[in-house]
Structure 1
Amino acid sequence: MRLIIAEKPSLARAIADALPGASKRGDGAIHVGDTIVTWCLGHLLEQAAPDTYDPAYKQWRLDHLPIVPARWKLVPRSNARGQLKVLRGLLKQADEVVHAGDPDREGQLLVQEVIEYLGWKGPVSRLLINDLNRPAVRHALTRLEDNATYHSLYQAAETRSRADWLYGINLSRAWTLTGRQAGHDGVFSVGRVQTPVLGLVVRRDQAIARFTPRPFHVLWADFKVAQGVVRGWWQPGDVHPLDDQGRLLDPRPARELAARLPGAEGTLSQLESRDKRQVAPLPYSLSALQVDAARRYKLSAKTVLDTCQSLYERHRLITYPRSDCRYLPDAHWQAARETLGRACAQDPTLAGWLAGADFSLRSKAWSDKRVGAHHALAPTGATADLSRLSTTEANVFRLIARNVLAQFYPALQTREIKAEFSVLDEHFRAQGQEVLVPGWKPLFTTRDEAPLLPPLQEGESAKVIDQAVEDRETRPPEPFTDASLIKAMMNIARYVDDPAVKRTLRDTDGLGTEATRAGILETLLDRRYLVRQGSALRATRIGQALIDALPDAATRPERTAIWEQRLRAIAEGDDQAAPFMTNLVADLHTLLAGADAQRMRQALGDADGFEPAPAGRGRGKASRRRSSSPAGGRGTEKSGSGKRTARSRRPRRTQDA
């Protein structure tokens, strides 16, 4: 008997539907001929609690730290015992096993760890499925590989799981106990990903709070030329007081010049034009989709992820969503006319875009060399009736389909124009854009992103017909939103100060993964380290205090970004797990030495973040108020039975994904 173990029930059903023969549903499995398809429910196993290794660890004490297991143990999750029993029984009957976890690091881990935990010693094949449509699943079933090929991927995922346990357990205990000494009645959760993300928000909030607006002044003039009117902006020279960005600090020169401008005659002294060609944006990775959906539809990262999972598992309209790749296989280009035709035909918006597509075009998006375990999000080719989807599902599907359709549109071609006017021995600049070929752009926006200028001729006369001085102020940085924070997590090198570390980080490195970024934001919200204010994400008082109390290195992105590099190297067979873990334990000793009650007490007293709304009243109506007590903030960690406090109950075990 062949046993196929899928990552989740929806994948198991898709596999069973693709197998020849009638299927029969059993207890935790589907029987199809001599094949049985069963499933996990996500992770059925988890890292054992510290007291599993030593009962003394039930009590949280600083002198126990760091806790480092000599031999790692996994235990069943509370809701997994029934399905594990089913799997154990099926493995006893099996002649061969097929691993059908999702095609990524965690998918490799969660099925393989169950196979090993239950003691299977026989052969294991690997089934990789990116698309739940029946033809795609049938094709994948003909291309089984040896699971041993993915052993390094499993090692990387296992190393990540153990490293996160070590980091989260030890630092959370240390700073919870330090917080207790400082008077804070609650749990502080520290993680190698969530804490640097919180640090980004805290530092942005602090920059906003410290910001002092500075006035500056601009002078514009409208010039009448032969075929229209052009607005130019005065370019004050170095003889005037300017800031480091060339902004005028003293309004008097601008006002004196403005008084002389009415009716003044000048010339268009310099005219430059440059033709530009811009190809369509690539198809989406999950994070890129989350950024665009947050900007366009104000959707949270978690909402986008959940919507994509629904479009993938329930509706089978899109390919595997938890992808970090923005390229598609060569074979998808050959089938695109048929695939997109079925996917887009029943929606008026998509059908209009489909009608304008030229399927003879081939963009750089189609590249087998750039596709790894995943490819970019794309329609599967199933007929999409968007009227039967929720509004959010329809909007997200249109975005995914649009970015693939855009590959069959010509490049956007524009002419960028810069003009300089000379009048009264002063210079005014104007710039604008002329669209030569709209290409793919109408699929993305109907607005012009730069002003259109009338036809201009260098040397022509220009007369001032209007002018004004505008008094402005510098603006503080914008608070983070879902879109900007996800983008920051994707491009974390921008937030790294160390030039040497910055150089080592590739554009694809980041905080978290496609599968975890949305969950990280929700975790910080659930633990009340962040609150939403409209679309903005702001740090709470307790969130700010935690960042201020931790060693700076634990709140910065460098460590976790380099972790991801090392884990990727392990996954690719270019590094080993043992040296990584040895370095981590040494690092923990250094970090734990920084746990200091006085620093925590000062951090709690100095914190001036945003208080979350009371539980049950939502997270969107936070008010900013200072607590008079260091323990006055909502820093406790919620569980199914309510709050856990450090004094009344044993603090809950905390780990970070």
Structure 2
Amino acid sequence: MRLFIAEKPSMGMEIAKVLSNKNNKSLERSDGFISVGNDVVTWQFGHILELKSASELDPQYEKWSFDTLPIIPQNWQRKIKDDCVKQFNVIKKLIENTDEIIHAGDPDREGELLIRETLIHLNNTKPVKRILLNALDEKSILYALDNLKDDSVFDNLYISAEARTRADWLIGINLTRAYTLIGKDNGLTTSINIGRVMTPTFSLVVQRENEIRQFNATKYYSLTAIFKSNKDEIQTKLKVPDEIKENDYVIDKTLIEDIENKLKKNPLAIISDYTVEKKTEYPLLPYSLSELQLVAGKKYNYEPKLVLDTVQSLYEKKLTTYPRSDCSYLPENQFDNATEILNTLSNIDDNFKTLIQEANPKLKSKAWNDKKITAHHAIIPTAKQCDINNLSETEKNIYKLISTCYIAQFYPAHIYNKTDIKINCNDYIFTATGKTILDLGWKKLYKANHNDEENILPICHKDDKVIFINSNITEGITKPPKRFTPATLLEAMKKIDKFVKAPEVKAILKNVSGIGTEATRASIIEKLLDKNFIAKDKQNLIPTKYGESIYKILPHFLKTPDITAIWENELSKIAEGTGDVQKFLGGQIKIINEAIKQTKTLKLDIDMPKCPYCHSILRPVISKKTNLKYWICKNFSTAEDSKCKKGIFSDKDDKPVLIHCNKCRKGYMKKNISKDNKIFWGCDNYPKCKNIMSDKNGLPNNSTNTKRKKLFK
């Protein structure tokens, strides 16, 4: 008996259907698995195991304390997730009765880990093979079934995934505890999450906001000039001499005016350089997940997580290939599928039909390149017929983006002539660039106006004489850098080398596919929003005051992407068999020790509200009985020796209600409920002050002044 263990139920179902058709055997459904002749297909729900928490490894870690940090497990252990126990037992029983296991996790690092960890947990000794599924259509599954590999081929991929898991545990557990302990000393009741990828990503948002705040707009000037060559006019722009620049701009208008006056006094000029160069732009490569998220974010304002969820849905409907791909290339053996896929896409709508009629399925773009393939290939449509009307609006848009990029692979290159002219007048250089399209090519799929050409320049020759006829001085203002959006932050995570200044580090990072993975980047951004490190201002991401307070106390090496990206580089080396796992984890332990050492001396300067009675910090607390939020003073206690006996306040819009009593001017108004369940506000200086007010939208109503005794009959 062969046992297939799929990553998720939907994948298991598709494998079972194909096995049924291939072997002409009926499906027999059972609780947690499907039998197909001599094959059995079962499934996981992603990871059904998780690393044990620190307190589960040792009870001494139950209490969070600097005394127990750092926590470095000597014996790493996993446990079954509570909601996966039943399915785990199904898999366990099936393994006992099988002869061979087919590992059907997704074809990437995480997919390798989540099935492998289950087999290791069960002490499996049965032979294991690997099926690599980049798509769930029948043709792709049949091809994968005929090309099974020994799972041992992917040992290094598993080791790198396990190293990544342990690294994240070490960083997350130790530094989250350390910074949470600082927060607790400053009145915070929530944990301060620190993550190997999450923290430098959050830091990018803070750093960008600081750049915007420190930015000073500068007024600058530029000069355009028109020269005449025979009957033709050439519109040019001054190449600003370095000697009149200040921070790359001309900020003194008189300097530009002097040049303009010289042109008017001596208008004779000469073409010092004239070149016409034929340029070729090849089709955009098919999408990786991050490129698709970026394009969809810019075109439709879609959040990265929405794009991932949507392309996952299309994948499960067998309309597109594996979604969590970090690759933009296609295997050469799939080129023969082009005609079938294009025929399928021609039925989407009339526009696609027209575009495909002009496509050439025999034209092979640079996308087909086996040497560039990683664990998976680019996201493309499958040959399954799509009823576009049955898709949601988001699914339609994403499917069409993927399909259009695939069709572009069968269009010719975009070819144009690029013309560059340099004109010398009074020893000043003026430049002009023009573009004449020779073949629109694949850009026909993306341009609304297929005939537009940019600044067509006349035919000239070097050393031709021209004459200045007109000019214009324009005024501009420098603009601050743009805030990140979810899409551009995701792009920054992938192209993290752009945010590094050190040349030696930048060189390393150019070979790394950023921080995080195609599958996790979107969820990291969501977590930063959920944990209140950052917030949304329309489509823009901005740091919260809470987030900026945390950022101030983070050590430099946690804020920068350098170390995190280098770690990802090390994981890639481990996956290739050239890296050292112990060296990798040892380096992280060293960093953790250094971070904890620094953390013990830090103080969190967070803008928390203060108690009006003792001036200590007020912390938000959720009532277990009512599930309502209120604010309590750090020093509050009902004990006789309490430093603060009145420090409890109601909440309004995530802020404590601190309103002085308008009668005694000594107490503060507190929300209460009368015997007949009416909300009222009373002075906490009772019985010395018996002032009460009715409630109006969660605040005391100053227009009322009810007698207290009426409420206590």
**What is the aligned partner in structure 1 of residue 506 from structure 2?**
502
Shift of 1:134: 1.3
Is 1:28 matched with 2:32?
yes
**What is the aligned partner in structure 2 of residue 14 from structure 1?**
14
Query: Within 2, Cα distance between the matches of 1:88 and 1:11?
Result: 19
Is 1:530 matched with 2:560?
no
**What is the aligned partner in structure 1 of residue 314 from structure 2?**
311
**What is the aligned partner in structure 2 of residue 371 from structure 1?**
373
**What is the aligned partner in structure 2 of residue 302 from structure 1?**
305
**What is the aligned partner in structure 2 of residue 621 from structure 1?**
none
Q: Deviations over 1:54-77 (max 9, x none)?
A: 212121111111111111111122
1:542·1:634 contact (CA, 8 Å) conserved in 2? no
Q: Which amino acid aligns with 2:3?
A: L
Q: Which amino acid aligns with 1:440?
A: W
1:443-458 equivalences in 2 (<5 Å): 443-446=445-448, 451-458=454-461
Q: Deviations over 1:70-90 (max 9, x none)?
A: 111111223212222222232
In structure 2, the CA distance between the partners of 1:162 and 1:238, relative to structure 1 (3 Å rule), is closer
Q: Deviations over 1:185-230 (max 9, x none)?
A: 4211000001011111111111111111122111223445556544
1:482·1:536 contact (CA, 8 Å) conserved in 2? yes
Report the TM-score when normalising by structure 1.
Answer: 0.87
Query: Within 2, Cα distance between the matches of 1:261 and 1:354?
Result: 54
**What is the aligned partner in structure 1 of residue 45 from structure 2?**
41
In structure 2, the CA distance between the partners of 1:507 and 1:568, relative to structure 1 (3 Å rule), is closer
**What is the aligned partner in structure 1 of residue 489 from structure 2?**
485
**What is the aligned partner in structure 1 of residue 409 from structure 2?**
407
SS of match in other structure, 1:151: helix
In structure 2, the CA distance between the partners of 1:120 and 1:62, relative to structure 1 (3 Å rule), is same
SS of match in other structure, 2:604: helix
- Partner of residue 118 from structure 1, selected from 122, 125, 140: 122
Is 1:211 matched with 2:215?
yes
Query: Within 1, Cα distance between the matches of 2:616 and 2:357?
Result: 63
Is 1:172 matched with 2:194?
no
Moved more, 387-396 or 186-195: 387-396
**What is the aligned partner in structure 1 of residue 351 from structure 2?**
349
1:28-427 equivalences in 2 (<5 Å): 28-223=32-227, 229-238=233-242, 241-245=244-248, 247-255=249-257, 258=260, 266-267=268-269, 269-270=271-272, 271-313=274-316, 315-421=317-423, 426-427=428-429
Q: Deviations over 1:19-63 (max 9, x none)?
A: 131112211111212222111011111111111112121211111
**What is the aligned partner in structure 1 of residue 558 from structure 2?**
554
In structure 2, the CA distance between the partners of 1:600 and 1:23, relative to structure 1 (3 Å rule), is same
Query: Within 2, Cα distance between the matches of 1:269 and 1:569?
Result: 54
Is 1:4 matched with 2:8?
no
2:363·2:410 contact (CA, 8 Å) conserved in 1? yes
Q: Which amino acid aligns with 1:19?
A: L
Is 1:514 matched with 2:518?
yes
Pairwise CA RMSD: 2.9
- Partner of residue 575 from structure 2, selected from 564, 571, 577: 571
1:527·1:635 contact (CA, 8 Å) conserved in 2? no
Shift of 1:344: 3.4
Query: Within 1, Cα distance between the matches of 2:629 and 2:63?
Result: 18
In structure 2, the CA distance between the partners of 1:228 and 1:539, relative to structure 1 (3 Å rule), is farther
**What is the aligned partner in structure 2 of residue 434 from structure 1?**
436
SS of match in other structure, 1:414: strand
Moved more, 513-522 or 113-122: 113-122
Shift of 1:333: 1.2
Query: Within 2, Cα distance between the matches of 1:248 and 1:632?
Result: 52
SS of match in other structure, 2:447: coil
Query: Within 1, Cα distance between the matches of 2:91 and 2:330?
Result: 35
SS of match in other structure, 1:80: helix
In structure 2, the CA distance between the partners of 1:485 and 1:423, relative to structure 1 (3 Å rule), is same
Moved more, 479-488 or 279-288: 479-488
Shift of 1:534: 2.3
Q: Which amino acid aligns with 2:472?
A: A
Query: Within 2, Cα distance between the matches of 1:141 and 1:298?
Result: 39
Query: Within 1, Cα distance between the matches of 2:218 and 2:619?
Result: 34
Query: Within 1, Cα distance between the matches of 2:196 and 2:631?
Result: 23
SS of match in other structure, 1:167: helix
Query: Within 1, Cα distance between the matches of 2:616 and 2:435?
Result: 56
Moved more, 495-504 or 206-215: 495-504
2:129·2:151 contact (CA, 8 Å) conserved in 1? yes
SS of match in other structure, 1:19: helix
Query: Within 2, Cα distance between the matches of 1:635 and 1:300?
Result: 32
Q: Which amino acid aligns with 1:445?
A: K
Is 1:590 matched with 2:594?
yes
Aligned residues: 617
Query: Within 2, Cα distance between the matches of 1:485 and 1:8?
Result: 29
Q: Which amino acid aligns with 1:492?
A: I
In structure 2, the CA distance between the partners of 1:528 and 1:454, relative to structure 1 (3 Å rule), is same
Query: Within 2, Cα distance between the matches of 1:501 and 1:449?
Result: 42
Query: Within 1, Cα distance between the matches of 2:408 and 2:95?
Result: 47
Query: Within 2, Cα distance between the matches of 1:120 and 1:299?
Result: 43
**What is the aligned partner in structure 2 of residue 543 from structure 1?**
547
Query: Within 2, Cα distance between the matches of 1:198 and 1:450?
Result: 42
Query: Within 1, Cα distance between the matches of 2:502 and 2:267?
Result: 53
Shift of 1:349: 2.9
2:271·2:466 contact (CA, 8 Å) conserved in 1? no
Moved more, 225-234 or 201-210: 225-234
1:185·1:645 contact (CA, 8 Å) conserved in 2? no
In structure 2, the CA distance between the partners of 1:183 and 1:192, relative to structure 1 (3 Å rule), is same
Q: Radius of gyration: which is bigger? A: 2
Shift of 1:340: 2.0
Query: Within 2, Cα distance between the matches of 1:468 and 1:564?
Result: 52
Query: Within 1, Cα distance between the matches of 2:167 and 2:121?
Result: 19
In structure 2, the CA distance between the partners of 1:438 and 1:2, relative to structure 1 (3 Å rule), is same
SS of match in other structure, 1:31: strand
Report the TM-score when normalising by structure 2.
Answer: 0.81
Query: Within 1, Cα distance between the matches of 2:262 and 2:111?
Result: 71
In structure 2, the CA distance between the partners of 1:427 and 1:511, relative to structure 1 (3 Å rule), is same
Q: Deviations over 1:518-561 (max 9, x none)?
A: 11111111112122222222221222222221111011111111
Shift of 1:330: 0.9
In structure 2, the CA distance between the partners of 1:231 and 1:128, relative to structure 1 (3 Å rule), is same
Shift of 1:426: 4.9
Q: Deviations over 1:459-509 (max 9, x none)?
A: 667666654322222211111123322222112122223332222233443
1:167·1:192 contact (CA, 8 Å) conserved in 2? yes
Q: Deviations over 1:301-338 (max 9, x none)?
A: 1111111101101x211111111111111111122122
Shift of 1:183: 3.5
1:224·1:462 contact (CA, 8 Å) conserved in 2? yes
In structure 2, the CA distance between the partners of 1:634 and 1:309, relative to structure 1 (3 Å rule), is farther
